[in-house]
Amino acid sequence: MEKHVKYCPYCKKYQPSTFYDCAFCFRKLWLLSEWEDTEDEEKEDWLKYPMPAKDISKFDPDIVKKDQDEATAYDSQIKAEIQEKLDEERRKAEEEAAKPVYTPRCPTCHSPNIHKVSTTAKLVDAAVWGLLARKPRVQFHCDDCGYEWIQFEYSGRKRQ
């Protein structure tokens, strides 16, 4: 989108940066970036007390029509760009939501009902059993079947 797009809050149309007044209502145009940064209350106040529209009878009808046609084409182009950006953002959000969520499971019974073995449990087991302790070597415990194991990280790279 062009950097200096102008916007008419009365007509709700985008217009080229070369325009100073709206081609339709002849009121002051805002830079779109300034209008978007303006607080909602200030926008409402500004719209309540609009500047009076200029008298259209003072302008050449051919020039007015040409400006309105140019503004309409420009407005359509900018709205299409905005819609394209919104569609792209929605598509990315849908792709992100469609990605499968990894849920660790027990390698024996495939239950997702597991928990990490705490450091406290490992220390107590080592204090009671000494070198024969099993818990200091495991990482997960299955709450369904009782199996305990170490989860290895897989990088996904093939060996050469």
| Average pLDDT of span 139-157 | 79
Q: Which residues pair with residue 120 across a beta bridge?
A: none
Residue 142 predicted with pLDDT over 90:
yes
- Side-chain-side CA neighbours of residue 125 (13 Å): 13
Pairing of strands 140-142, 114-116: antiparallel
What number of CA atoms fall less than 13 Å from residue 117's CA on the CB side? 20
* E runs forming strands in 4-158: 6-8, 13-15, 30-31, 114-116, 140-142, 148-149
Q: Which residue has the higher pLDDT, 53 or 41?
A: 41
- The mean pLDDT value of the chain amounts to 84
Q: Note the pTM of the prediction, 2 decimals.
A: 0.56
